[in-house]
């Protein structure tokens, strides 16, 4: 309080008083708490303010692990710096203090609390999720994006990070603080990049944190499922749609009515995507007439054009049956055609370079307009068939056009009808490539499940006017074919589980089923094989994200209340699979407690760029055995485009591996310490037990002491080559030209059954192991490899023989089958084959069919009662079979 006494000139005094509130020193921040790596220092700027100008602020009570600059004569308003130093603070300890700042002139004072924790720097890491980036895009379409989440260490909740990447096609948003988390968008610019797989490395840095390396894989492909859903593309046969109703699906007409078709053919690679080929404004469903009206464009699937639009189609399982594809072309003479090769009809094929079509067409000849039904078959841009049947100009006529797809005779046949009763043949082509029938599962996106498609085609070709063709109905029908002879009958029951890949029974009686990207289902059956309970466990994808999961085994230490599952998995990409992304994970739990425990004891196993990967795994005598597919089509890397890319074989690829995982000293960390991924120094305890197996999906330890395995033969005409020379070293790119033309491509090979022996070689080359001789050497004109062991049975061309068990019988079983091998054919056959063995088990004596009618059966298992269980990958079913007679 200030009082003033005033003496007046006129005499007398007057007293005036006033009350003032004195301000205080204010510090920003008002306290400091830091967690820092032992031995590090950090300078922090502190702002100071006061009611007026001060120049004499002084610091006191400064601890030994801090210093203030300046320590006296601090100006307010202004700032000073406080330096924290952890060199004298023990690791794990937290020290505190309160520094006092005082102005002697004003008498103002303020305290600054300090807290400092010293951390072990080797344990301080930024959290990054996901730990690697797998990006997918289309060439020359701009940016594709991925997002990572960055999390600061719990003891240091704020981290100012920066990100750098070593490839110019990668960019990222500005760096910033993780407090405690932040998201960072990483962009891959696909402009100027061709189809293929690209890799890069990004490094995440932050002061006082260890750098975090983020591997990036970018897979560019012009083909994808847009504008439809991949899982909806493939339909069961028979399948029909009529246009008198809304048929569902993503492919709509200009009014938003769903056409019912499930797939849209893209243009040729590099010329556009399926989105470019889809023109909904040119489509109209007329429900009153039950017709689909297509306004044709000039685009066409013919030789090098490959620019047809609105090729509405379905995917289907072509190897499973005779299939008829048909549609009606209604009164095409009224479509405003004028002899310029306008056409409309039905087609079957795998792309616009490989197809068969039956169409109504019109063209000029000798100055007059001609009309015809025409069949065209094209393979890799070469016309194999161009047949016409001339018809009169009959405006009232409509034509039913049809294609027969015959996977058994490897042919396509075309015909047409005026009334749907009398059919007139147009043409036939035999020796159609196996790819057309989707025999070989390698390279097929398993979400789609096929590379075979059929649908409608329309083009106005050289006509500059509007042409509208009218289609009525579309049918996929099964052709008649005598069923195979079987001696057994079953009661079959199925439950739906999408994309099952492997199965194993646990000691709790449940059937454990892996699906494509890592989920595990556990099925409880009653005594009548009714599925009474199904549990789903997402433990693996919750921990690592999606993983291509193809194998499961039950640990022998498991009990009914403590189940230990081993899962074989790798990069989720079916093309551009990550190098050495193969892993084995151990998942532990029970029905009552769930499966919340997971670890990853084995890492760095081979994975092909294609879908050859770690496959089935089984325990025997306390050791775990795992089949791993090859990185190449036939042992040698090739430069030519293929699903396998240019990746060479590795020490553990194309082999049956032995892993002593129950040994406490076992080291499963392969190639984790900077080893050459194509070298022999793996850095782990994984061993090769048998080698030269191209893609052995499954194997079985038989009660006779033998080991049997199926192996998939080379499927595509240009997807493989054996090593460049038959003697080591044989690394390098081989020629994909056929052997008959001087190259190293053996072309398509049959599937085989092997009796595996430790240390033996089964013919799929591997330069990393000096296995340079392909099969028995006959393709190269040399003697077999010294360790070569031949097959015991030929399982046929295009079989995709995968699942295998020894049938052991049971109370509901079939004694006559006991000791026989049961093998599934995923492609040609779609059946269970019985292989009878010689008394010594060294030879196959007879092969017959046990059951048929499955949809891409992949794995077979048996319960203790003798019932069979088949995972049908194509239809997404687990089918149980109980013998009715034997």
Say how many C-beta atoms besides its own lie within 10 A of residue 737's C-beta. 15
Task: Give me the residue label for tokens 């793996």.
Answer: 682
**Exposure of 631 by Cβ count < 10 A (0-12 exposed, 13-18 middle, 19+ buried)?**
buried
Copy the structure tokens of residue 660: 């002593």
Confidence of residue 271 (pLDDT cuts 50, 70, 90): very low
Dihedral sign, Cα of residue 349, residue 351, residue 356, residue 360: positive
**CA–CA distance, 476 with 322 (Å, rounded to integer):** 10
Say how many C-beta atoms besides its own lie within 10 A of residue 757's C-beta. 14
Q: Which of 118-127, 375-384, 511-520, 731-740 has the lowest mean pLDDT?
A: 118-127
CA angle centred on 781, ends 776 and 785, rounded to 5°: 35
pLDDT of residue 18: 61
**CA–CA distance, 477 with 884 (Å, rounded to integer):** 30
Copy the structure tokens of residue 525: 């059956």
Q: Which of 677, 580, 668 is nearest to 623 (CA)?
A: 668
CB 379 within 8 A of CB 437: no
Q: How many CA atoms lie within 13 A of 836 on its CB side?
A: 9
Using a cut of 0.75, tell me whether the model's pTM lies above it: no
Residue 580 has pLDDT above 50, yes or no: yes
pLDDT of residue 265: 86
Radius of gyration of the chain measured on its C-alpha atoms = 36
Provide the terminal-to-terminal Cα distance of the chain, rounded to the nearest Å.
Answer: 113
pLDDT of residue 272: 38
3-state DSSP percent of the chain in helix, strand and coil, to 5: 5, 45, 50
CB 545 within 8 A of CB 107: no
CB 648 within 8 A of CB 615: no
Residue 22 has pLDDT above 60, yes or no: no
**CA–CA distance, 67 with 90 (Å, rounded to integer):** 18
Q: Which of 326, 237, 336 is nearest to 296 (CA)?
A: 336
Q: What is the mean pLDDT of the chain?
A: 91
CB 124 within 8 A of CB 209: yes
CB 634 within 8 A of CB 649: no
**CA–CA distance, 217 with 723 (Å, rounded to integer):** 27
122-125's contacts with Cβ under 8 Å and 24+ in sequence apart are 122/210, 124/37, 124/153, 124/155, 124/156, 124/208, 124/209, 124/210, 125/153, 125/209, 125/210, 125/212
pLDDT one-digit tens code per residue, 728-751: 999 999 999 999 999 999 999 999
- CA-to-CA dists, residue 323 to 151, 188, 262, 487, angstroms: 55, 43, 18, 26
DSSP category for residue 784: P
Compute the CA torsion angle 87, 88, 90, 93 (nearest 10 deg). Answer: -100
Confidence of residue 204 (pLDDT cuts 50, 70, 90): confident
- Arithmetic mean of pLDDT, 706-722: 87
- Arithmetic mean of pLDDT, 776-791: 98
**CA–CA distance, 514 with 130 (Å, rounded to integer):** 22
Copy the structure tokens of residue 793: 């049975």
pLDDT one-digit tens code per residue, 610-662: 999 999 999 999 999 999 999 999 999 999 888 899 999 999 999 999 999 99
pLDDT one-digit tens code per residue, 854-870: 999 999 999 999 999 99
**CA–CA distance, 140 with 340 (Å, rounded to integer):** 34
Q: Identify which has the larger pLDDT, 391 or 292.
A: 292
What one-character-per-residue DSSP string does 132-195 give? SEEEEE-TTS-EEEEEEEEE--TTS--EE-EEEESSTTEEEPPP-EESSEEEEEEEEE-TTPPS
Task: Give me the residue label for tokens 């008498």.
Answer: 107
Bridge partner list, 356: 348, 377
What one-character-per-residue DSSP string does 610-652 give? SS--EEEEEEETTEEEEEE--SSSSSBEESS--TTTTPPP-TT
**CA–CA distance, 350 with 453 (Å, rounded to integer):** 6
Q: Which of 124-138, 161-175, 491-505 has the lowest mean pLDDT?
A: 124-138
CA angle centred on 769, ends 764 and 774, rounded to 5°: 25
Copy the structure tokens of residue 838: 């010689």
**CA–CA distance, 280 with 249 (Å, rounded to integer):** 13
- Arithmetic mean of pLDDT, 573-590: 94
Task: Give me the residue label for tokens 């002139």.
Answer: 105
- Arithmetic mean of pLDDT, 455-468: 95
**CA–CA distance, 147 with 311 (Å, rounded to integer):** 35
Give the rounded percent of residues in the chain with a pLDDT score beyond 90: 70
CB 294 within 8 A of CB 469: yes
Instruction: Report which listed range, 122-131, 248-257, 294-303, 392-401, is most confident.
Output: 294-303
Copy the structure tokens of residue 378: 């094209």
- Arithmetic mean of pLDDT, 194-215: 84
CB 841 within 8 A of CB 706: yes
Task: Give me the residue label for tokens 């994909």.
Answer: 736
pLDDT of residue 224: 61
CA angle centred on 406, ends 400 and 412, rounded to 5°: 55
Task: Give me the residue label for tokens 């995917």.
Answer: 315
pLDDT one-digit tens code per residue, 650-706: 999 999 999 999 999 999 999 999 899 999 999 999 999 999 999 999 999 999 999
- CA-to-CA dists, residue 272 to 278, 307, 308, 415, 477, angstroms: 11, 9, 11, 32, 32
Tell me phi and psi for residue 466, to 5 degrees: -75, 130
Task: Give me the residue label for tokens 């230990």.
Answer: 564
Copy the structure tokens of residue 83: 């330096």
Residue 794 has pLDDT above 80, yes or no: yes
Q: Identify which has the larger pLDDT, 210 or 116.
A: 116
**CA–CA distance, 505 with 565 (Å, rounded to integer):** 10
- Arithmetic mean of pLDDT, 351-371: 94
| Distance, C-alpha 483 to centroid of its chain | 35
Dihedral sign, Cα of residue 642, residue 644, residue 646, residue 649: negative
**CA–CA distance, 60 with 855 (Å, rounded to integer):** 83
- Arithmetic mean of pLDDT, 837-850: 97
């Amino acid at each position: 309080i200030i009082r003033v006494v005033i003496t007046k000139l006129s005499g007398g005094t007057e007293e005036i008083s006033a009350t003032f509130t004195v301000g205080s020193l204010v510090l920003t921040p008002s306290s400091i708490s830091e967690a820092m790596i032992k031995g590090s220092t950090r300078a922090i700027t502190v702002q100071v303010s006061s009611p007026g100008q001060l120049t004499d602020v002084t610091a006191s009570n400064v601890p030994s692990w801090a210093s203030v600059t300046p320590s006296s004569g601090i100006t307010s308003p202004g700032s000073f710096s406080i330096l924290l130093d952890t060199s004298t603070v023990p690791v794990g300890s937290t020290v505190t203090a309160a520094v006092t700042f005082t102005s002697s002139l004003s008498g103002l004072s303020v305290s600054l609390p300090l807290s400092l924790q010293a951390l072990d720097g080797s344990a301080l890491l930024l959290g990054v999720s996901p730990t690697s980036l797998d990006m997918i895009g289309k060439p020359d379409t701009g940016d594709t994006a991925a997002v990572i989440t960055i999390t600061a260490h719990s003891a240091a909740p704020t981290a100012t990070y920066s990100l750098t990447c070593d490839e110019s096609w990668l960019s990222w948003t500005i760096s910033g603080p993780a407090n405690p988390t932040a998201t960072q968008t990483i962009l891959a610019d696909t402009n100027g990049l061709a189809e293929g797989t690209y890799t890069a490395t990004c490094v995440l840095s932050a002061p006082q944190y260890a750098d975090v390396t983020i591997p990036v894989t970018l897979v560019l492909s012009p083909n994808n499922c847009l504008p439809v859903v991949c899982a909806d593309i493939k339909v069961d046969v028979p399948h029909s749609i009529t246009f008198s109703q809304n048929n569902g699906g993503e492919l709509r007409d200009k009014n938003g009515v769903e056409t019912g078709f499930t797939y849209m053919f893209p243009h040729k690679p590099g010329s556009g995507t399926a989105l470019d080929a889809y023109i909904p404004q040119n489509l109209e469903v007329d429900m009153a007439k039950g017709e689909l009206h297509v306004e044709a464009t000039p685009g066409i699937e013919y030789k090098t054009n490959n620019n047809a639009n609105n090729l509405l189609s379905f995917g289907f399982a072509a190897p499973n049956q005779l299939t008829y594809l048909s549609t009606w072309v209604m009164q095409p003479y009224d479509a405003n055609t004028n002899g310029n090769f306008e056409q409309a009809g039905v087609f079957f094929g795998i792309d616009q370079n490989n197809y068969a079509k039956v169409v109504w067409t019109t063209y000029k000849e000798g100055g007059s307009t001609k009309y015809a039904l025409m069949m065209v078959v094209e393979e890799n841009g070469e016309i194999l068939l161009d047949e016409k049947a001339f018809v009169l100009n009959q405006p009232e006529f409509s034509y039913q056009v049809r294609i027969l797809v015959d996977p058994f005779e490897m042919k396509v046949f075309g015909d047409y009808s005026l009334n749907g009763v009398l059919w007139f043949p147009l043409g036939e082509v035999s020796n159609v490539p196996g790819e057309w029938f989707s025999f070989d599962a390698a390279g097929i996106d398993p979400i789609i499940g096929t590379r075979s498609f059929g649908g409608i085609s329309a083009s106005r070709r050289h006509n500059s006017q509007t042409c509208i063709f009218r289609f009525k109905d579309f049918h996929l029908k099964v052709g008649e074919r005598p069923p195979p002879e079987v001696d057994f009958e079953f009661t079959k029951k199925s439950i739906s589980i999408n994309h099952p890949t492997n199965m194993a029974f646990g000691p709790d009686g449940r059937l454990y089923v892996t699906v494509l990207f890592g989920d595990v289902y556990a099925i409880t059956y009653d005594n009548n094989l009714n599925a009474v309970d199904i549990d789903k466990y997402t433990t693996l994808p919750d921990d690592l994200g999606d993983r291509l999961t193809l194998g499961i085994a039950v640990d022998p230490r498991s009990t009914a209340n403590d189940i230990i599952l081993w899962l074989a998995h790798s990069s989720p990409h079916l093309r551009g699979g990550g190098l050495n992304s193969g892993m084995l994970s151990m998942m532990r739990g029970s029905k009552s407690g769930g499966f919340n425990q997971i670890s990853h004891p084995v890492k760095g196993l081979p994975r092909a760029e294609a879908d050859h990967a770690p496959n089935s795994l089984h325990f025997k005598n306390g050791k775990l055995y795992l089949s791993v597919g090859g990185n190449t089509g036939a042992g040698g890397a090739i430069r030519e485009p293929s699903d396998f890319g240019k990746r060479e074989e590795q020490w553990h690829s194309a082999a049956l591996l032995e892993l002593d995982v129950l040994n406490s000293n076992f080291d499963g960390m392969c190639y984790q310490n900077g080893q050459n991924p194509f070298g022999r120094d793996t850095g782990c305890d994984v061993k090769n037990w048998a080698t030269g197996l191209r893609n052995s999906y499954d194997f079985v330890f038989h009660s006779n002491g033998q080991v049997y395995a199926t192996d998939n033969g080379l499927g595509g005409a240009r997807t493989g080559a054996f090593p460049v020379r038959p003697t080591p070293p044989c690394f390098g790119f081989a020629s994909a030209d056929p052997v008959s033309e001087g190259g190293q491509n053996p072309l398509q090979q049959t599937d085989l059954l092997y009796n595996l022996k430790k240390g033996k070689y089964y013919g799929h080359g591997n330069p990393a192991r000096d296995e340079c001789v392909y099969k028995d050497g006959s393709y190269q004109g040399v003697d077999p490899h010294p360790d070569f062991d031949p097959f015991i049975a030929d399982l046929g061309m295009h079989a995709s023989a995968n699942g295998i068990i020894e049938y052991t019988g049971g109370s509901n079983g079939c004694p006559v089958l006991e000791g026989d091998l049961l093998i599934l054919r995923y492609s040609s056959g779609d059946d269970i084959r019985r292989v009878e063995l010689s008394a010594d088990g060294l030879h196959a004596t007879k092969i017959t069919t046990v059951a048929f009618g499955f949809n891409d059966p992949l794995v077979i298992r048996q319960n203790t009662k003798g019932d069979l269980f088949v995972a049908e990958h194509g239809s997404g079913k687990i089918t149980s079979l109980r013998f009715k007679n034997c």
